[in-house]
Structure 1
Amino acid sequence: MHDPLAQAVAGFVKTPSAPAAPDSLSAVPSPSRPDPDLTSILDQALQQNATDLFLSSGRPPRIRRNGLITALDAPSPDRQQILALLPDEVARTTLEQSGSADFAVRWELPEGPRRVRVNLFRHLDGVSAALRPIRRRAPQLTELSLPEDLYQLATFSSGLVLVTGTAGSGKSTTLAALVDYLNRTRPRHILTIEDPIEYEHREIQCMIHQREVGSNVESFASGLRAALRESPDVILLGEMRDHETIAAALTAAETGHLVLSTLHSGSASTAINRIVDVFPGHQQPHIRTQLSLSLRAVLSQRLIPSRSGGLVPAIEKLMVTPAVANGIREGQDHFMRNAMLTGSEDGMITLERSLANLVRDRLIDRETALRTATDPNLLTHLLD
């Protein structure tokens, strides 16, 4: 099998270090190219469409594919091989002082460079590294088994659009697809603030600047404040983690920018409370008012095991109509669920309706849908 990565030369910047004790991290040599065994392992992972590669000293390498962890038929790396991934003295010192280090490396391939995010960390039994190859092409919604009408979420002239879900539910991938749609269809200035960058967007119609927390900006909040002075039309904010970031995002949405972001929330209807509850009680009425004026839509998604053995997304979508905006402002949280139940003409959909569609399209089985549904009785009614 053709092995382009085996021919690759890593573009690492290596800094020589002074002699040290045998167990010191600074005593580990820094090669000018990746270890051939690790290159072969990474190549095997890429050929199997893995999203993540896990290397642990003395253990078989493993990959994450379709959300599941699988062992590779490859030799176990040793401590020296893993530590040799460290690109420079800064990363080496960070690992020694804090126990982990985040960095990006690039492999120069015949078809172009391949960027890989690495988290290298120490643990009870040795050292490990989690590697995530950065995708060079963002997917389209149809490739993700998502409806194309979700592209409308990227067409608002201003406001806040949230994609919510648990960790690993594909939130960042959906946002990447929305940015790709804008890039293909509209001349805009898009600024992204990500941690880490997961897709590299090549400019088509849009001017795109991608910034990474820790490398290009100190934090989401500081990057967002800077973005307001950089004349963007669209700001992709990788995650709304704290009240400072949320406050800055709401300000950006109120001042004529379209802000696309993610939030850890189990459903569209609970996302509002997740945002409001971050703030002290005396600020919450003001935050509700801001949300009622700036929030445009909430898309919640979760990945469901499919009949074919992969994963397929089930969604619910809340569109902020005038009635929904009033419910947000007044704290009538029960109204969000009712709005989705009756708001199909406004483009809303409940999780149960999405699951019923997946069952009818034979993408998932009935039992899986019933286990996933928030309201199994409603789903049963929709299926019968």
Structure 2
Amino acid sequence: MTLLEWPASPGFPEPLWYWVEDWHRLLLWATDQAVSDVTLQANQPVVVERHGRLFPVTRRRLAPAEVYHLTQVIYGDNAPSQLAGGQDIDCSYEIPRGRADLARYRVNMTAVRAGRERGVEITVRTIATTPPPLATLDLPPALRAGLVFEQGLVLITGPTGSGKTTLLAAIIRHLLEDPHAHRKILTYEAPIEYVYDFVPRVHASIAQHEIGVHLPSFAAGVRNSLRRKPMVILVGEARDAETITAVVDAAMTGHLVYTTSHTNSVPETLRRLVSAFPADGRDGRLADLLEALQTIVTQRLVRTTDGRRAAVREYLRFTPDLKDAILAQPPARVVAATRHLVREHGRPLTADLDALREAGRIDEREYRLFRGLGTQADAISLPLPAGPDAPEPGEADGPG
């Protein structure tokens, strides 16, 4: 039987109503079956995602009141009123499995249309309790060498579900296990996904914080960290100007900072981060960002011919010479110059795609689906710009 023929039946009777016991049974089954996501929506059957493919696992459609009941099981009695007020809910959820094990989940709950009634969609992502060893992620040596430094900023980017959190957690595990690391690590996450309770460590320590539970925001987390003398700071996401400023400042003052962004290429990451600031200050922000940057990694997950998924990555190590080369460009040419540097000194996303196709691990449809994303391995032939400072087609906005 192939993974494409995977039977999506949980193997136990479908309940007439999801009480706590039934809910836990469903989630533990999902964990054991390598299901990545479970979606429950009012007036819809339960749907799970496994290796990027969706399967309904109930015949019955869930009642709106039933899904609201589950929001209270997961988050507490105030969940329905918070959802009715137009706020979504992000949280983590744990189910004990014996004396020394937990099944862990990341949960989002959002109000949705459900016919003539108010409804809710609950999206539950299964999380391995302990992150995988870095050596198991099949990273090329050049990339592994560009992930750990004494100080600076390392950005892991990609869309939701691309493995950013797993890669970051594997890096943190590597730092904890290194007997020569001597690193104090602080993480600020929303919510906490992987935990490190069972990761052996000799000369390293870690404290994890959940935004909204322990501290109000990522920016507040970075400010908090600077009063506690860490060597390594992990910030779940750098999305707004305040958080971007905080992580750059921390990286420029002797800390190794890891964070993420929802971008699809190395050049786009520069543009997106700088665009968070007012136009008249973007040149200065770009200079600060480049001063702090060590590496940007962009990652996607593609479906393989065996029914599983594989990571494809784009990355660039920002050496002093490359930073100078970018800063020497007029603003309208920054993205084009960075794209050129990825091709010449890093690795574009399409290089991994080409390698997977040549090895027969992805089919032509999957290749075409992702071929236009990220930096292209070969420059596309276009008419030359009118002058030395003119932007390339489609890049007139530069980093802003």
Matched with 1:114 is 103
Matched with 1:43 is 28
How far residue 128 of structure 1 moved from its aligned partner, in angstroms, is 3.2
Distance 1:152 1:285, change over 3 A: same
Matched with 2:165 is 172
User: How many residue pairs were aligned?
Assistant: 345
Equivalent residue of 2:128, what SS? coil
* Distance (Å, rounded) in 2 between the aligned partners of 1:278 and 1:122: 28
Query: Is the Cα–Cα contact under 8 Å of residues 118 and 130 in structure 1 kept in the other structure?
Result: yes
How far residue 253 of structure 1 moved from its aligned partner, in angstroms, is 0.4
User: Which of the numbers 267, 270, 284 marks the counterpart of 1:269?
Assistant: 267
* Distance (Å, rounded) in 1 between the aligned partners of 2:95 and 2:317: 43
Query: Is the Cα–Cα contact under 8 Å of residues 86 and 111 in structure 2 kept in the other structure?
Result: no
How far residue 81 of structure 1 moved from its aligned partner, in angstroms, is 4.0
Post-superposition Cα deviations, 1:88-126, rounded to whole Å, max 9, x if no partner, equal 344354234345434433322225333333333433223
Distance 1:336 1:232, change over 3 A: same
User: Which of the numbers 211, 214, 217 marks the counterpart of 2:212?
Assistant: 214
* Distance (Å, rounded) in 2 between the aligned partners of 1:377 and 1:212: 39
* Distance (Å, rounded) in 1 between the aligned partners of 2:110 and 2:279: 39
Query: Is the Cα–Cα contact under 8 Å of residues 269 and 318 in structure 1 kept in the other structure?
Result: no
How far residue 292 of structure 1 moved from its aligned partner, in angstroms, is 2.5
How far residue 367 of structure 1 moved from its aligned partner, in angstroms, is 5.7
Query: Is the Cα–Cα contact under 8 Å of residues 159 and 294 in structure 1 kept in the other structure?
Result: yes
* Distance (Å, rounded) in 1 between the aligned partners of 2:35 and 2:141: 25
Give yes or no for the alignment of 1:198 onto 2:193.
Answer: yes
Matched with 2:316 is 318
Distance 1:368 1:69, change over 3 A: closer
Q: 53-62 or 266-275: which moved more?
A: 53-62
Matched with 2:378 is 378
Q: How does 1:280-319 map to 2 (within 5 A)?
A: 280-319=278-317
Unmatched tracts of structure 2, length 5 or more? 1-11, 13-17, 381-400
Query: Is the Cα–Cα contact under 8 Å of residues 343 and 378 in structure 2 kept in the other structure?
Result: no
User: Which of the numbers 112, 117, 121 marks the counterpart of 1:123?
Assistant: 112
Q: How does 1:20-169 map to 2 (within 5 A)?
A: 35-73=20-58, 75-85=60-70, 86=72, 87-98=75-86, 100-110=88-98, 111-125=100-114, 126-141=119-134, 143-147=136-140, 149-169=142-162
Distance 1:123 1:339, change over 3 A: closer
* Distance (Å, rounded) in 2 between the aligned partners of 1:287 and 1:376: 27
Matched with 1:13 is none
Matched with 1:182 is 175
Query: Is the Cα–Cα contact under 8 Å of residues 134 and 200 in structure 1 kept in the other structure?
Result: no
Post-superposition Cα deviations, 1:16-66, rounded to whole Å, max 9, x if no partner, equal xxxxxxxxxxxxxxxxx9522222222222222112211223432111222
How far residue 130 of structure 1 moved from its aligned partner, in angstroms, is 1.9
How far residue 136 of structure 1 moved from its aligned partner, in angstroms, is 0.5
Distance 1:364 1:34, change over 3 A: same
Query: Match of 1:189, as an amino acid?
Result: K
* Distance (Å, rounded) in 2 between the aligned partners of 1:377 and 1:152: 22
* Distance (Å, rounded) in 2 between the aligned partners of 1:137 and 1:156: 23
Query: Is the Cα–Cα contact under 8 Å of residues 61 and 77 in structure 1 kept in the other structure?
Result: yes
Query: Is the Cα–Cα contact under 8 Å of residues 370 and 379 in structure 1 kept in the other structure?
Result: no
* Distance (Å, rounded) in 2 between the aligned partners of 1:157 and 1:216: 27
* Distance (Å, rounded) in 1 between the aligned partners of 2:281 and 2:138: 40
Query: Match of 1:310, as an amino acid?
Result: R
* Distance (Å, rounded) in 2 between the aligned partners of 1:62 and 1:277: 37
How far residue 249 of structure 1 moved from its aligned partner, in angstroms, is 0.6
User: Which of the numbers 333, 341, 344 marks the counterpart of 2:343?
Assistant: 341
How far residue 378 of structure 1 moved from its aligned partner, in angstroms, is 3.5
Distance 1:352 1:106, change over 3 A: closer
* Distance (Å, rounded) in 2 between the aligned partners of 1:247 and 1:132: 30
How far residue 176 of structure 1 moved from its aligned partner, in angstroms, is 1.3
TM-score (norm 2): 0.78
Query: Is the Cα–Cα contact under 8 Å of residues 160 and 297 in structure 1 kept in the other structure?
Result: yes
How far residue 127 of structure 1 moved from its aligned partner, in angstroms, is 3.1
How far residue 301 of structure 1 moved from its aligned partner, in angstroms, is 1.6
* Distance (Å, rounded) in 2 between the aligned partners of 1:43 and 1:75: 20
Please tell me the root mean square deviation across aligned C-alpha atoms, in Å: 2.7
Distance 1:65 1:46, change over 3 A: same
Distance 1:233 1:92, change over 3 A: same
Distance 1:151 1:88, change over 3 A: same
Unmatched tracts of structure 1, length 5 or more? 1-5, 7-32
Matched with 1:10 is none
Matched with 1:14 is none
How far residue 357 of structure 1 moved from its aligned partner, in angstroms, is 2.5
How far residue 142 of structure 1 moved from its aligned partner, in angstroms, is 5.1
How far residue 160 of structure 1 moved from its aligned partner, in angstroms, is 0.6
How far residue 166 of structure 1 moved from its aligned partner, in angstroms, is 2.3
TM-score (norm 1): 0.81
